[in-house]
Amino acid sequence: MSHPESVKPVGASPTKPTVNILAQEAKAFSVTRLADFLDRSGREITDLYRGNISWTTVLRRAELVSAPAAPGEQELLKRMHVFLHADDAERAGAYMRLVADDAPLYGSLSERDKTLARMLFFNLWDKAGGFTSYEEGFDALREQPAVRSEIGQILTHLMQGKVLRPPMPLAGPHAHIPLNVHHDYNRSEILAALGVARLGGQLPGYFAQGVLWDAENRTDALLITLNKSERDFSPTTSYKDYPLSRTRFHWESQNSTADTSPTGQRYQQHVQRGSHILLFLRADKDTPTGKAQPWTLLGPATYERHTGSKPMAITWSLHHPLPDEIWTSLPSAG
């Protein structure tokens, strides 16, 4: 089989993707399904989600889709990259049911599935999208066949193509939260899962902090970025955070947190006070494609000791040891 100059056969090193190159390849292979394109082109799925590229954008540029774009489609297609880190069957399955043609109504869902639905909602509209109810948002999503199809194709590909980590659901006081230890989540999903993100309240698109007190679940969620570049972190926010071992983590509080302050006391006495700590970790702020990198949930932790004040240098004891695939990828693990 011959290939156009810009189309590389499987096994070759694909040309750096632009929407025009990807469209030429899709047209040459005459494929409209994402999985077929990835199989024929030898490309990684991340090649299709650089900048504002998406699979539907490629198909429209290649004139392989005849149906007109629904109002609002273009903005939603810019959010398709937020599904690329999905790595657990519960979340993927819930999202796929919610984007299906026969998707259940939000009001008919169980409480756990409503939480997963809100995670999907804020993935698509991290600043609420102008909606006043989740029902309104999902009604609008039903009018987006191309977007729903693309989400379903992304998740199907990820679930079929990955060796998934075994599920390790949160337990005890966090058992109702649909997050799995050692799985990846973005800011919208974390805030929605904890019940912090909500319409009429805190919206993920306006949340930039690395610490969060979740009063409803009596939980401090710590969102940690290991490698802090000068571009993204000022000298006053370049906290020294790093694993000490597979079960111990060194973390620095905000500069304003004294060990005698209410927050500092809560960190130290969380066990006695009946509150909890959840650690989330990512290596860098952005992925190689320039998108925000998700966090891996390390799970619950217990205060062990601290030194200093403003900031406090706290050692947390992890309830779940870091598995090999996480531990060996960390800078300090070498």
Of 41, 66, 91, at which residue does a domain stop?
66
> Which residues have a Cβ under 8 Å from the Cβ of 275 and sit 6 or more positions away?
218, 219, 220, 266
- Mean pLDDT, residues 223-228: 90
Separation between Cα atoms, residue 80 and residue 150, nearest integer Å: 8
Average pLDDT of the residues of the chain: 91
Question: pLDDT by residue (tens digit) across 188-222?
Answer: 999 999 999 999 999 999 998 999 999 999 999 99
- Mean pLDDT, residues 298-315: 98
**Is 318 inside any structural domain?**
yes
Question: pLDDT by residue (tens digit) across 74-122?
Answer: 999 999 999 999 999 999 999 999 999 999 999 999 999 999 999 999 9
- Per-residue pLDDT at 193: 98
**Is 56 inside any structural domain?**
yes
Question: pLDDT by residue (tens digit) across 148-161?
Answer: 999 999 999 999 96
pLDDT band at 5 (very low <50, low <70, confident <90, very high): very low
Of all residues in the chain, what percent are helix, strand and coil, respectively (each to 5)? 40, 15, 45
**Is 147 inside any structural domain?**
no
- Per-residue pLDDT at 329: 84
Of 12, 36, 66, at which residue does a domain stop?
66
- Mean pLDDT, residues 285-306: 95
- Per-residue pLDDT at 16: 74
The number of C-alpha atoms within 13 Å of 163 and in the hemisphere containing its C-beta is 1
Separation between Cα atoms, residue 292 and residue 260, nearest integer Å: 34
Of 66, 97, 120, at which residue does a domain stop?
66
- Per-residue pLDDT at 14: 55
Question: pLDDT by residue (tens digit) across 34-79?
Answer: 999 999 999 999 999 999 999 999 999 999 999 999 999 999 999 9
| Res 162 pLDDT > 80 | no
Torsion, Cα of 83, 127, 296, 231 (10° steps): 110
**Is 326 inside any structural domain?**
yes
**Is 313 inside any structural domain?**
yes
**Is 133 inside any structural domain?**
no
Q: Which domain, by its residues, includes 21?
A: 1-66
Least confident of 1-5, 18-22, 203-207, 268-272: 1-5
Kindly report the pTM of this predicted structure: 0.91
- Per-residue pLDDT at 166: 85
Determine what percent of the chain is predicted with pLDDT higher than 90: 84
Residue 293 DSSP SS3: coil
How many CB atoms are located within 10 Å of the residue 280 CB?
22
Rounded (5°) CA angle 95-84-94: 10
- Per-residue pLDDT at 334: 39
CATH of the domain at 282: 2.30.280
Separation between Cα atoms, residue 56 and residue 64, nearest integer Å: 9
Report DSSP letters for 181-228, one per residue: TT-EE-HHHHHHHHT-B-TTSB-GGG---SEEEETTTTEEEEEEESS-
How many CB atoms are located within 10 Å of the residue 107 CB?
10
Stronger pLDDT, 230 or 178, i.e. the higher one: 178
CA nearest 218: which of 170, 260, 278? 278
Name the β-bridge partners of 280: 223, 297
Contact 155, 138 (CB under 8 A): no
Name the amino acid, one letter, at 189: E
Residue corresponding to tokens 């090193």: 13
Q: How many domains are there within the chain?
A: 2
**Is 150 inside any structural domain?**
no
- Per-residue pLDDT at 197: 97
| Res 234 pLDDT > 60 | no
| Res 8 pLDDT > 60 | no
Integer distance in angstroms from the first to the last C-alpha of the chain?
A: 46
- Mean pLDDT, residues 226-248: 74
| Res 308 pLDDT > 60 | yes
Strands 219-225, 276-282: pairing is parallel
Contact 277, 220 (CB under 8 A): yes
Stronger pLDDT, 165 or 94, i.e. the higher one: 94
CA nearest 302: which of 259, 258, 262, 249? 249
Separation between Cα atoms, residue 274 and residue 287, nearest integer Å: 36
Angle of helix 89-98 relative to helix 145-161, nearest 10 degrees, comes to 160
Determine what percent of the chain is predicted with pLDDT higher than 70: 90
